[in-house]
Amino acid sequence: MITAILVMVVLAVAVGLVLGWSAVRFKVEGNPLAEKIDAILPQTQCGQCGFPGCRPYAEAIAKGEADINQCPPGGEEGIKKLAELLGVEPKPLDEAHGAPKPKSVAFIDEQLCIGCTLCIQACPVDAISGAAKQMHTIIAAECTGCELCVAPCPVDCIAMVPIAEDLPHWKWKYPVIELKRVA
Amino acid sequence: MSRKLFKFKGGVHPPEHKAESNVRPLHAAPLPGKLVIPLRQHIGNPAKPVVEVGERVLKGQMIGAADGYISAAVHASSSGIVTAIGPAAVPHISGLPDLCITLSTDGRDEWIAHAPLDYQAMAAADLRMKLRDMGIAGLGGAVFPSAVKLDPGAAHSCPTLIINGGECEPWITCDDMLMRSRAGDILQGVAVMRHLLGSTEILVGIEDNKPEAIAAMQAAAQSLDFAVDVVAVPATYPAGGAKQLIETLTGRQVPSGKLSTDIGIQVFNVGTAYALARAVHHGEPLISRLVTVTGHVLRPQNFEVLIGTPMHTLITLAGERDGSTGALMGGPMMGMPMPDLEVPVVKATNCILVKSNALFPPLPKALPCIRCTRCADVCPAALQPQELFRFAKTGDFGRAQEYHLFDCIECGCCSYVCPSHIPLVDFYRYAKSEIWAREKEKRAADLARERHEFREFRLVREKKEKAEKLAAKAQAARAQAALDQAKPAGLAAAAAPELAAAPSDADAKKALIAAALARAQAKKAGVVPKNTDHLPPGTQREIEEIEARRAKIRELARQPLESEEKKP
């Protein structure tokens, strides 16, 4: 009887030690779920979801504080992927956070720009080059199309230009085939 | 020379239709009045224009320079004036315009100075760069820059070199005609390839439906100082596919997701070998190629065509017929319908196949897939086309990739045999292009994430740096104030420096404020109104009166209560 209890106690202590040690040794830094969610989000950093960037939104979803349908740039496909990852039902995009738009980049009318640097301060990805009282310009390849630079401009010289389809961006369309009608 | 041949899986035998165009002799197409030369004719970065509108260029002059390693230059195909540099129609299924250089030819066809290259004396890297600047790219259809393929890389040699004269696609005969008429030149190009790749075994694979070409190549191979094995391979579509030809000739398969160079084999088209020979032995860049014009025309034949010649000119030369329903660039199995016929001939244009309803009746309406797996039987890449179709149709691209979608060579065998007439290859192309677009988006998102994270880090760092700077400044000022206080204290303070050096914060602050106030007052006192000096006596008197009034008002304002009391 005593032996049995002793064996169980020793076993419990041993297992507890191993578990405790591995909890320290294999500690996962950060929230792996938030990482996975962040990888799905489009990284536009536009804040339309109500969070200051994609990472905070991902963390909020991971904590269950935000819904999965608040990201207009991610669109329906993004919601589907998030739903799949989190094992929930996909739902339509919450219109309160905006509607999906065609992908565009900001364009600065350099004739009008006064060089106030407000757009540079607003850009979440440092995609605007320029300095005080110097003309600014957008680095188009790095612009995410978040529109955050449009509102601060005091002279309204920033416009969002949809990305035109050209050969490098051309995609094969989904083949539309006529099916033969059979009785 | 009999060689053991192997059989690749699948393949089909569509009607060959080669006899239409290979019975007429090869002609050079006349010089057109206008040449439109696209800057994106090869895989990789498009060339960058190096001429200006209005500039006169000579035949063979570089007009677009290669941009980066995987790129190739483009050249003026004839002498003339550059009339435009801008978007123009190009031979692409989308019909979208692309950057082109338009030349108005002057009819003189004047060559720029050019000389043969002494390739054996040149360093390999220099020779490759030279070939890139001469615009050499694979003429079999993929137009991959040849300079890149001629780099044996870390292995330092590529033991087996295969020259592809398969030309398995129906209707096309340009490689056949090239081998018949210019076998010697082709093998001169092969010698350069062998030099660069260090190959020990050289095989030329030609489908056995081209006996004249085989004979010509075999005869030319006799006079070489190295061994070239010209092998007739059974005519099966797609025996001329690079991976299929490798398997037929060597029995080896290129593993999925790998390149043929990974198993020590490099493959070039005969046209590329010929272009290489012209470049090295004549110093001529790639400005022309052989093009088959066939199908619904009066005189199907092959032309030697300057790059940039409008396709319609060639169709007119071959005899346009009524009732044509557009044209394909390439053959019926893999060719692309052209959005219009004014588009120019480019490096990739091996054939212009004019369609008619009699030759190419519209596809019957499709029926649902019945999963008969005939497509799987004929697939030369050993894929499961019916599964890939299902995944592509439903947008399940991950599964499509698991089923090796990217091993699909888009040969069209599956569509050819499909009893339901489903355009299967269109679905695979759609799926591939979607996957590429997604990968591009993913890369863009990763870049945006990285830049955003760096920005956040930078903002925090800047804030911290600012705070530290301010703290350091305050510290320095405090030390200075303490020193100032300590001085008058004299010897006593000097005896106890710790006490003097560490006055309380409040004292230091007070001292700082007092010092600042004193400075401000001194400054204020120093400023004298400049317009009050040397005034005439009248003005001086007026000022004095005003000052007196002001003093009175100030006095009154100071005793508001008294004045209130006086009122009633």
Question: Which pLDDT score is estimated for A181?
Answer: 78
Is A177 an interface residue toward B (CB < 8 Å)?
yes
Contact A177 B367 (CB under 8 A): no
- B contacts of A178 (beta carbons < 8 Å): 365-366
Of B96, B429, B445, the CB nearest to A172: B429
d(CA B432, CA B412): 15
Q: What's the confidence (pLDDT) of residue B534?
A: 76
Which secondary structure element, helix H or strand E, spans residue B336, and what is its range? strand B336-337
> Can you tell me the distance from the alpha carbon of B212 to that of B175, in angstroms, rounded to the nearest whole number?
12
Is-contact B405 B387, C-beta < 8 A? no
Looking at the DSSP bridge assignments, the partners of residue A137 are A129
- Non-local CB neighbours of B431 within 8 Å, separated by 6+ positions: B388, B391, B392, B397, B400, B405
Min Cα separation A4/chain B (Å): 53
What is chain A's mean pLDDT, rounded? 90
- Give the Å distances, CA to CA, from B356 to A29, A76, B279, B326, B328: 66, 43, 38, 8, 11
A·B CB contacts under 8 A: 80
Q: Does A176 touch chain B (CB under 8 A)?
A: no
Number of Cβ atoms within 10 Å of the Cβ of B92: 19
- Residue A43 DSSP symbol: -
Can you give the pLDDT at residue B509?
79
- Output the DSSP codes for B76-98: -SSSEEEEEEEEEE-S-TT--EE
Which two structure tokens, joined as six digits, stand for B107?
Answer: 């009819």
Partners of residue A167 in chain B, C-beta under 8 Å? 40, 90, 92, 94, 96, 98
Pairwise CB contact (< 8 Å): A171 & B367: no
Q: Which of B422, B426, B455 sits opposite A125 (nearest CB)?
A: B455
Q: Which residues, in sequence order, are CB contacts of B349 under 8 Å at separation 6+?
A: B91, B289, B291, B305, B311, B329
- Give which of B444, B373, B368, B439 is closest to B401, Cα–Cα: B439
C-alpha–C-alpha distance, residues A157 and A170, integer Å:
29
Whole-complex ipTM: 0.84
What pLDDT does residue B426 have?
A: 94
Instruction: Say how far apart CA B38 and CA B346 lie, in whole Å.
Output: 8
- The helix/strand count (H/E) of chain A reads as 5, 4
Q: Would you call B111 helix, strand, or coil by DSSP?
A: strand
The confidence score (pLDDT) of residue A100 equals: 86
In a domain, B50, yes or no: no
Smallest CA–CA distance, residue A2 to chain B, in Å, is 58
Residue B367 and residue B418 in contact, taking contact as beta carbons nearer than 8 Å: no
CB of B275 closer than 8 Å to CB of B286: yes
Q: Which two tokens stand for residue B516?
A: 């600042």
User: Residue B40: which of A43, A165, A167 has the nearest Cβ?
Assistant: A167
Instruction: Tell which of B426, B449, B458, B459 to mutate to test the A interface (max A CBs under 10 Å).
Output: B449
Angstrom distance (rounded) from CA B172 to CA B290: 11
Indicate the angle between helix axes A54-63 and A32-40, nearest 10 degrees.
Answer: 130
Name the CA dihedral angle for A63, A67, A73, A78, rounded to a multiple of 10 degrees.
Answer: 80
Q: What is the mean pLDDT of residues A154-171?
A: 89
For residue B140, the enclosing domain spans 124-284
End-to-end CA distance of chain B: 138
CA distance B160 to B260: 10
Best mutation target among B432, B452, B461 (most A Cβ atoms within 10 Å) is B452
Single out the residue of B560, B14, B529, B474 nearest to residue B235, CA to CA. B14
User: For position B136, which CATH number holds?
Assistant: 3.40.50.11540
Interface membership of B423 toward A (CB under 8 Å): yes
Chain A residues inside the 8 Å CB shell of B90: 167
DSSP secondary structure of B413-472: HHHHH-TT---HHHHHHHHHHHHHHHHHHHHHHHHHHHHHHHHHHHHHHHHHHHHHHHHH
Whether B451 and chain A come into contact, CB under 8 Å, resolves to: yes
pLDDT at B72: 95
Nearest to B96 among A53, A167, A173 (CB): A167
Q: Which fold has domain A104-164?
A: Alpha-Beta Plaits (3.30.70)
CB contact, 8 Å: A54 with chain B? Answer: yes
Q: How does pLDDT run along chain B (568 residues), one tens digit per residue?
A: 578 999 999 999 999 999 999 999 999 999 999 999 999 999 999 999 999 999 999 999 999 999 999 999 999 999 999 999 999 999 999 999 999 999 999 999 999 999 999 999 999 999 999 999 999 999 988 899 999 999 987 777 789 999 999 999 999 999 999 999 999 999 999 999 999 999 999 999 999 999 999 999 999 999 999 999 999 999 999 999 999 999 999 999 999 988 898 899 999 999 999 999 999 999 999 999 999 999 999 999 999 999 999 999 999 999 999 999 999 999 999 999 999 999 999 999 999 999 999 999 988 899 999 999 999 999 999 999 999 999 999 988 999 999 999 999 999 999 999 999 999 999 999 999 999 999 999 999 999 999 999 999 999 999 999 999 999 999 999 898 888 887 765 554 444 444 444 456 677 778 888 888 888 888 877 766 667 677 788 888 888 899 899 888 888 887 755 544 444 4
Distance CA A142, CA A43 (A): 11
Q: Give the per-residue pLDDT at B530.
A: 65
Contact in structure between B110 and B59 (CB atoms under 8 Å): yes
B396 touching A, CB under 8 A? no
Q: Supply the pLDDT for residue B537.
A: 85
Q: Tell me if B376 is assigned to some domain.
A: no
Position A167 confidence tier, pLDDT thresholds 50, 70, 90: confident
**Which CATH superfamily includes the segment(s) A32-97?**
Electron transport complex subunit B, putative Fe-S cluster (1.10.15.40)
**For chain A, which residues make up each domain, given as ranges?**
32-97, 104-164
CB of A173 within 8 Å of a chain B CB? The answer is yes
Identify which of B367, B445, B447 has the shortest CB distance to residue A180. Answer: B367
Find chain A residues with C-beta within 8 A of B348's C-beta.
none
Summarize pLDDT for A32-51 with one digit per residue, the tens: 889 999 999 999 999 999 99
pLDDT for res B567: 45
CA distance B226 to A172: 46
What confidence score (pLDDT) does residue B511 get? 85
- List of residues 6+ apart from A166 with CB closer than 8 A: B96, B98
Which three-class secondary structure string do you get for B510-551? Answer: HHHHHHHHHHHHHHHHHCCCHHHCCCCHHHHHHHHHHHHHHH
Confirm whether B38 is domain-assigned.
no
pLDDT at residue B553, as a whole number: 87
Compute the nearest-CA separation of B26 from chain A (Å). Answer: 34
Q: Would you call B433 and A42 a contact, using CB atoms and an 8 Å cutoff?
A: no
Among residues B363, B114, B42, B207, the alpha carbon closest in space to that of A178 is found at B363
DSSP state, residue B310:
B
B227 touches chain A (CB under 8 A): no
Q: Is residue B185 part of a domain?
A: yes
Count of the separate structural domains present in chain B: 1
Q: Which residues of B touch A106 (CB under 8 A)?
A: none
A30 touches chain B (CB under 8 A): no
Tokens of A36: 């996975």
